[in-house]
């Protein structure tokens, strides 16, 4: 093969590998959805995952939302001052949080915390033959490990988004009344008056989609982990990176669908 063709060959190989990975993830997602509907179900595992993914993520999501809401208020105030529109701070903070920043920040924080944890746990189970042990004990790893995690994340992340939205708006409110001189009652009225049901609901739907992505990526990369500590480390890194990129891509697509049609 001539050296001139080497870049083409490399590009072709990378494209083929990318398409193969997309296909494998799509098959994994399909299998997960199929198992969601067929027994046996593992409610205890689902409960444990709801706590691990939802409840234990509350502090990190809450803190992120609080600071994001505060920073957003400062930015909008500074930007709005250029054309005498400082009064839009409450409404823009509220809309920005519930439509975009709440779901995206919650999704990314859960990706960092949960996708890595799921991939590392399942990857370690794979390299220590615990997945094989599950099979020999007549238990399907997809049903026992993947389905409870994916379902729990899909249910829990919208709740985290809702809580994050409220805390983020509160962050903007605190900055608004303490640093920017807003009247408390006016700030709250402007926040409530400008928010519509679909603003909030669209963010919650995004949260469900992001939760599904995070858990799916964690499980997929864990189940396909390489051998040894390096293999598990690589699976963990891939799960976090893939989750983050897919969350941002899905966010764009969902925004197109929800707000431009």
Partner 1 sequence: MIRLEGVHKAFGANRVLQGIDLAVERGESLVVIGGSGTGKSVLIKCILGLVTPDAGRITVDGLDVRRAEREAFLARFGMLFQGGALFDSLTVWQNVAFRLMRGRERRPRAEARAIAIEKLRRVGLAPEVADLYPAELSGGMQKRVGLARAIADDPAIIFFDEPTAGLDPIMSGVINALIREIVDEMGATAITITHDMRSVREIAHTVAMLHGGLIRWRGPVAQIETSGDPYLDQFIHGRAEGPIEAVR
User: Applying CB under 8 A, which residues contact partner 1?
Assistant: 40, 125, 128-130, 132-133, 135-139
- C-beta pairs of 8-13 under 8 Å, 24+ apart in sequence: none
CB-based contacts of 89: which residues, under 8 Å, 6+ apart?
73, 76, 77, 80, 172, 176, 180, 182, 187
Tokens of 196: 């519509």
CA distances (Å), 10 to each of 16, 97, 238, in order? 10, 42, 21
- CA distance linking residue 104 with residue 146, whole number of Å: 23
- CA distance linking residue 236 with residue 204, whole number of Å: 26
144 C-beta neighbours (distance < 10 Å), count: 18
Rg (alpha carbons) of the chain, rounded to whole number = 22
Quick one: which of 176, 149, 188, 163 has its CA closest to 49? 149
CA distances (Å), 144 to each of 14, 110, 118, 227, 232, in order? 33, 21, 13, 22, 20
3-class SS letters over 197-220: HHHHHHHHHHHHHHHHHHHHHHHH
């Amino acid at each position: 093969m001539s050296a001139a063709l080497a870049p083409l060959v490399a590009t072709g190989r990378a494209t083929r590998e990318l398409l193969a990975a997309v296909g494998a993830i799509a098959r994994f997602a399909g299998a997960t959805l199929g198992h969601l509907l067929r027994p046996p179900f593992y409610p205890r595992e689902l409960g444990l995952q709801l706590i691990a993914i939802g409840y234990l993520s509350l502090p990190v999501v809450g803190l992120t939302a609080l600071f994001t809401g505060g920073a957003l208020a400062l930015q909008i105030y500074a930007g709005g001052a250029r054309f005498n529109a400082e009064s839009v701070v409450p409404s823009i903070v509220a809309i920005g949080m519930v439509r975009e920043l709440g779901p995206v920040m919650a999704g990314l924080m859960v990706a960092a915390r949960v996708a890595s944890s799921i991939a590392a746990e399942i990857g370690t189970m794979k390299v220590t033959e615990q997945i094989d042990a599950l099979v020999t004990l007549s238990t399907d790893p997809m049903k026992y490990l993947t389905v409870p995690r994916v379902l729990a994340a899909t249910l829990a992340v919208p709740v985290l988004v809702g809580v994050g939205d409220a805390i983020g708006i509160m962050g903007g409110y605190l900055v608004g009344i303490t640093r920017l001189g807003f009247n408390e009652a006016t700030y709250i009225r402007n926040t409530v008056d400008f928010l519509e049901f679909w603003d909030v609901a669209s963010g919650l739907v995004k949260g469900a989609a992001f939760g599904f992505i995070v858990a799916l990526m964690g499980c997929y990369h864990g189940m396909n982990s390489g051998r040894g500590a390096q293999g598990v480390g690589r699976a963990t890194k891939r799960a976090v990176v893939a989750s983050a990129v897919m969350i941002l891509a899905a966010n764009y697509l969902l925004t197109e669908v929800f707000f431009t049609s």
